[in-house]
Chains A and B, each alone.
Chain A
């Protein structure tokens, strides 16, 4: 591991929303390389295109032009169902609003992505328990989301993002809805994922204190990289 291997390579990426006659340029010719194991933070004012960039990297949204290679695969070229499989196997997601399924317990929420794999019941159980252990919620596995605090919900969401052991973890303002204590816990977990397990973490935030947990920070302004 002498040379840092790149995991994401973005070339001339643009995203333009056309709303009637008005065109909104959310991303304007972005080029960027992200190294494996980095904890990259994406900063910038509201509306600068942070979420759009994150969504394209994660295979949730499509650019207007340009390419986005993740581990050598151009995700902008994959079709719907290829993307669905690719996301399931390669990316873990953490949302600002947690996005847990309200009718499923913590355990069942974390197990969801594994239901799309070939793993058997016992293997799934083991992986889910390990993931819940990592986020320190092994004792809450049978709780429903509404029985958990916001910080706990977000930690369950991180466990769900980890359980398939993806190379890439993306988080869109994961601490935006949390008090500062819970935010510290969540950021600490994301940091240790990158430092100790070698995962690549990309996090959108506009909080400099949150960004301080990352290993590198880039800034967006009106759809353009500024540093």
Chain B
């Protein structure tokens, strides 16, 4: 039979002065782990959940990013009327030839400049991306040099308030609305009319085509046709696959998070061990007494493990709570493919919290194991005679 749970819990709490360092140490490890993983989760989600599985994205063969791709106008004429492409109610093919332009703009608070991705988009392109919706102001009117910027970018860049305007090269654009991309890659874009964009920035070529095929079979045929037609030199893939590949950038952060967690947890294990050695050492006679009363070695070990695990759990909860403070906090990084400002949110997911807590308890149990076993190994009489 086990010792009552309250024996372990009260012992963990009664010595709070000596355990507070251990709890804080474990909290720090869990905090760093959860925060870095939530950063990675945020970066992954920023492109990972972008796109519609029914859509195909076409870029120039060999281009790793839409913004670095150039597609001639003849290609649009050749592809537009292919039978695999769906038609809308008005009978027009559902294809959007977009153009992407990188512009260098000043950040707020004179905090330097950064690249922003401008997307020249067509009405079809807007219909194909229902993730994107307006959160303030109105949509642009073609021909009026108007732009709708991401609300998340608006917080980071000067001149992105509604009614403000900014200059890039010879073009001056007025911000008339804010868009939200629902945590997708579009949260890092500014949209304007495609034809206007091409004329303002003197682009003859397109960057990409976004296509809605008739059905999945048509999509497969279309990919085949585009990739194998020697005239094109184009690459077609599902929109979601394209964005999933853009997600790779989070891997180093995940790796760093795991690396820091593992190295720091070694320190935390020793801290927990130190605390539990002291706690157990001061209670040697008490443990002897419990054994005299008939409690087995394993009951003593279990009670001490519960005590150490409980302490660590407190640390884990604290670490997660501090990390959770950053949940939803928006920040940005430079995209490795586009070299433009990519915004993302820290995402402290339930899964991450669970992992953080399990991690904390594991640290506590490992740190407690040795002191607990040593205490229980002592013969009853030796434990009882300890001062």
The total number of A-B Cβ pairs within 8 Å is 57
Which residue, of B10, B285, B289, has the highest number of chain A Cβ atoms within 10 A? B289
For A93, what are the chain B residues with a Cβ–Cβ distance below 8 Å? 292-293
Stretch at the interface among A65-73, A94-102, A202-210: A94-102
Pairwise interchain contact B290-A84, C-beta atoms closer than 8 A: no
Q: Knowing A101-B7, A116-B1 touch, does A95 contact B289 (C-beta < 8 A)?
A: yes
Q: Knowing A60-B384, A84-B291 touch, does A115 contact B296 (C-beta < 8 A)?
A: no
Cβ contact of B381, chosen from A61, A80, A89, A113, cutoff 8 A = A61
Q: Does A138 contact B (CB under 8 A)?
A: no
Q: Does B349 contact A (CB under 8 A)?
A: no
Q: Does A104 contact B (CB under 8 A)?
A: yes
Hey, what's the 0/1 contact readout for B266-298 against A, CB within 8 Å counting as 1? 000000000000000000011001111111110
Pairwise interchain contact B293-A113, C-beta atoms closer than 8 A: yes
Q: Knowing A60-B381, A61-B381, A101-B7 touch, does A81 contact B296 (C-beta < 8 A)?
A: yes
Q: Does A133 contact B (CB under 8 A)?
A: no
Q: Does A103 contact B (CB under 8 A)?
A: yes
For B381, what are the chain A residues with a Cβ–Cβ distance below 8 Å? 55, 60-61
Taken together as a complex, chains A and B put the C-alpha atoms of A94 and B6 apart, in Å, by 24
The number of residues on chain A lying at the interface, defined by a beta carbon within 8 Å of a beta carbon of chain B, is 25
With both chains docked as a complex, state the minimum distance between the C-beta of A120 and any C-beta of chain B, in angstroms: 13
Taken together as a complex, chains A and B put the C-alpha atoms of A108 and B11 apart, in Å, by 14
For A116, what are the chain B residues with a Cβ–Cβ distance below 8 Å? 1, 293-295
CB neighbors of A among B331-387 (8 A): 380-381, 384
Q: Does A219 contact B (CB under 8 A)?
A: no
Pairwise interchain contact B4-A88, C-beta atoms closer than 8 A: no
Q: Does A85 contact B (CB under 8 A)?
A: yes
Q: Does A112 contact B (CB under 8 A)?
A: yes
Taken together as a complex, chains A and B put the C-alpha atoms of A137 and B285 apart, in Å, by 25
Pairwise interchain contact A99-B294, C-beta atoms closer than 8 A: no
For A160, what are the chain B residues with a Cβ–Cβ distance below 8 Å? 293
Q: Does B89 contact A (CB under 8 A)?
A: no
Taken together as a complex, chains A and B put the C-alpha atoms of A104 and B7 apart, in Å, by 7
Pairwise interchain contact B289-A102, C-beta atoms closer than 8 A: no
For A87, what are the chain B residues with a Cβ–Cβ distance below 8 Å? 292-294
For A88, what are the chain B residues with a Cβ–Cβ distance below 8 Å? 293-294
Hey, what's the 0/1 contact readout for A54-79 against B, CB within 8 Å counting as 1? 01001011000000000000000000
For B380, what are the chain A residues with a Cβ–Cβ distance below 8 Å? 60-61
CB neighbors of B among A111-128 (8 A): 112-113, 115-116
Q: Knowing A55-B381, A113-B293 touch, does A102 contact B4 (C-beta < 8 A)?
A: no
For A99, what are the chain B residues with a Cβ–Cβ distance below 8 Å? 285-286, 289
For A61, what are the chain B residues with a Cβ–Cβ distance below 8 Å? 380-381
CB neighbors of A among B9-39 (8 A): 10-11, 14
Taken together as a complex, chains A and B put the C-alpha atoms of A9 and B292 apart, in Å, by 21
Pairwise interchain contact B293-A103, C-beta atoms closer than 8 A: no
Q: Does B3 contact A (CB under 8 A)?
A: yes
Pairwise interchain contact B289-A115, C-beta atoms closer than 8 A: no
For A102, what are the chain B residues with a Cβ–Cβ distance below 8 Å? 14, 286
With both chains docked as a complex, state the minimum distance between the C-beta of A12 and any C-beta of chain B, in angstroms: 21
Residue of A nearest to B380 (CB): A60
Taken together as a complex, chains A and B put the C-alpha atoms of A60 and B294 apart, in Å, by 10
Pairwise interchain contact A103-B14, C-beta atoms closer than 8 A: yes
Taken together as a complex, chains A and B put the C-alpha atoms of A117 and B1 apart, in Å, by 8
Taken together as a complex, chains A and B put the C-alpha atoms of A104 and B11 apart, in Å, by 9
For B14, what are the chain A residues with a Cβ–Cβ distance below 8 Å? 102-103
With both chains docked as a complex, state the minimum distance between the C-beta of A39 and any C-beta of chain B, in angstroms: 21
Pairwise interchain contact B294-A85, C-beta atoms closer than 8 A: yes
Pairwise interchain contact A103-B11, C-beta atoms closer than 8 A: yes
Taken together as a complex, chains A and B put the C-alpha atoms of A97 and B297 apart, in Å, by 23
Taken together as a complex, chains A and B put the C-alpha atoms of A116 and B300 apart, in Å, by 13
Pairwise interchain contact B286-A108, C-beta atoms closer than 8 A: no
Taken together as a complex, chains A and B put the C-alpha atoms of A190 and B10 apart, in Å, by 32
Question: Besides A84-B296, A113-B293, A115-B4, 19 other CB < 8 A contacts?
Answer: A55-B381, A58-B292, A60-B381, A84-B294, A87-B293, A95-B289, A99-B286, A101-B289, A101-B290, A102-B14, A102-B286, A103-B14, A104-B6, A104-B10, A108-B4, A112-B290, A115-B1, A116-B294, A160-B293
Write the residues of chain B forming the contact surface with A, with a CB cutoff of 8 angstroms: 1, 3-4, 6-7, 10-11, 14, 285-286, 289-297, 380-381, 384
15 A-B residue pairs with Cβ-Cβ distance under 8 Å, sorted by A, are A60-B384, A84-B291, A84-B296, A85-B294, A87-B294, A93-B292, A99-B286, A101-B7, A101-B290, A102-B14, A103-B14, A104-B10, A112-B293, A116-B293, A160-B293
